[in-house]
Amino acid sequence: MKKITKPTVTFTNYKGEWMIKSDIKLTAENTIDSEYETICGKKILALGSVEVLLESGREKTVLIGEYEMCIKNNDGTESHVYSMHNF
């Protein structure tokens, strides 16, 4: 049985907009209610939600938008930035 790593997701301000930042790339396996969509022959995460850790320690569920970029951290790890759907 493959162990699924739950992402640690926080809010971040990227280019003047509030987005979410994850310590691992978000996939259908590590998000909630996710689906894939095929665009130009490539499967991408189309819709899903994720629990975002707030400064208070509580979590808030948000809908994942588009993948924005990968940030290389000083410690050699990567963070993945996504926009959010606002409904």
Structure tokens at 47: 């819709």
Under 8 Å between Cβ of 31 and 49: yes
Rounded to two decimals, the pTM is 0.77
pLDDT at 23: 95
Spatial distance between the Cα atoms of 37 and 67, rounded to a whole number of angstroms? 14
- Tens of pLDDT along the chain (87 residues) come to 556 688 999 999 998 999 999 999 998 788 887 766 666 777 665 668 899 989 899 999 998 888 999 999 999 999 999 998 764
Length of the chain in residues, anyone?
Answer: 87
Spatial distance between the Cα atoms of 3 and 30, rounded to a whole number of angstroms? 10
